[in-house]
Each structure stands twice: as structure tokens, then as C-alpha cells.
A and B are shown apart, each in its own frame.
Chain A
Amino acid sequence: NAGVTQTPKFQVLKTGQSMTLQCAQDMNHEYMSWYRQDPGMGLRLIHYSVGAGITDQGEVPNGYNVSRSTTEDFPLRLLSAAPSQTSVYFCASSYSIGSPTYEQYFGPGTRLTVT
């Protein structure tokens, strides 16, 4: 199993550009999520999905869109990049919201810089 994969690993954008961060998992997990990590802030939840076709907002959703057309893929779209979106982005998945454990499996991250 590849686990959770993310592409690209690094990206530089100019203000106003759009892009999609890709995330895929091969563990047949129902729950997938996107986090951003900023210095001194820990990991903050952007959006999450409890299954194909179902998405919801997390703590910091503004400026980001998501969709979940398949169980495996959960792309994160930046509509119009801003310098405040410079961060490291992590995608994660877990078996089920209703399972006894909330252990999530994280991808390696995408380091995004917006100039």
C-alpha cells in the first residue's frame, strides 16, 4: 500500500493564481481531511469529507474548495492564492468517523509559497 500520497511536494505561486493540491489514499478510508501547518499554530483543519460526495468545512476553510467524487481522491483547490496561504499542507485519512479510533494517516505534505 502506498498509503496517503500528495502531489506536488513543493509549489510556488504568484498572488491570484489558482491551483489544485492532489491527495489520494489506497486504504479504502471513508474519512479524508486537509490541514495546514503554520509556525506556532499546529495543524488546522481546512476541509474534511466523511465519504464520497460529502464534504464539510473545518476551522479555516476560506479561500479553499474541495470535492470528493471517489473514495480514493480528495483534491484541495486554491481559488485565488494569497500570501497568507503560504503554508505546509497535509492530507490525511482514517477508516471511519464512527470507528473507535480517530487515528489518521497523513501524507508527506505539500510546501506552498505564495509570492
Chain B
Amino acid sequence: DQQVKQNSPSLSVQEGRISILNCDYTNSMFDYFLWYKKYPAEGPTFLISISSIKDKNEDGRFTVFLNKSAKHLSLHIVPSQPGDSAVYFCAASASGFDNNNDMRFGAGTRLTVKP
């Protein structure tokens, strides 16, 4: 069962415009969410995270929004740059003693930023 879903396999935007990557989850126990960025032939690298007690977290050009009632989060990149072209993974985990402390990832969205 895919508990974390990224329904758009790919996204193409023009340099300077906003990129919006979406992620949905089904497990209401998830309370920590992360975005990772992956270039070809490299491992994923951490980009930004958000706890369920917040609805927004910003780091430079990257902002993550969390809508708990809709079980939806999104990553906004403004302005988009060609170097942002990569695969973006959404991930979620559930903390707490009774949880496995494992992390579930979405299938990824390939972002292409055109010059």
C-alpha cells in the first residue's frame, strides 16, 4: 500500500517561474514530513521538512505547506532555476513509541526547469 503518493511523475516549468510539487498521504499517524532532492547517479539529499504542528516552513527559495485535514503537502520553489532540475521525493514518518520509526517515500516527481 502506498501511503505516500506523488501523482505527478513529471513537471516542467520555465526558469524564474514557480514550481509546485504535490504530495498526498493516507496514514493519519504521520507527523513529520520531508522533501528530498535527487540528481542522477547520486543519493537523495535532504531539502526541507515540516512537523505536523506547523502548516508552513520556509527556507530560502523553498517553502513547504502542510494541510493536515486534506492530508496534503506541497513544495514551492520560487524562483525556479535550471539547477533545480532533479527528482523530488516526498517522505513521511510517524514518531512515538509504538511506531516503527520507519519512513515512507513517494514515487518521486521529476522536475525540469527550462532556461
Contacts and interface: CB of A to CB of B under 8 A. Distances in A.
Nearest to A44: B105
A59 B102 contact: yes
B46 A104 contact: yes
Interface string B57-92: 000000000000000000000000000000001010
A107 B102 contact: no
Q: Bin chain A's interface residue count.
A: 20 to 34
A45 interface: yes
A103 B106 CA distance: 16
A2 interface: no
A26 interface: no
Interface residues of B, number: 27
B59 to A, nearest CB: 12
B43 A4 contact: yes
A42 B108 contact: yes
Contact of A108 (B32, B43, B106): B43
Nearest to A111: B41
Interface in B1-36: 2, 4, 6, 9, 32, 34, 36
Interface string A3-43: 01000000000000000000000000001010100001111
Contact of A42 (B51, B100, B106): B106
B52 interface: no
Contact of B105 (A43, A56, A97, A107): A43
A102 B45 contact: no
Interface string A86-115: 000010100001001111111111000000
A108 B42 contact: yes
B43 A50 contact: no
B49 A109 contact: no
B112 interface: no
B104 A97 contact: no
A56 B45 CA distance: 24
Interface of A: 4, 31, 33, 35, 40-45, 48, 50, 56, 58-59, 90, 92, 97, 100-109
10 contacts: A4-B43, A43-B89, A44-B105, A45-B103, A50-B101, A90-B43, A101-B49, A102-B32, A103-B34, A106-B43
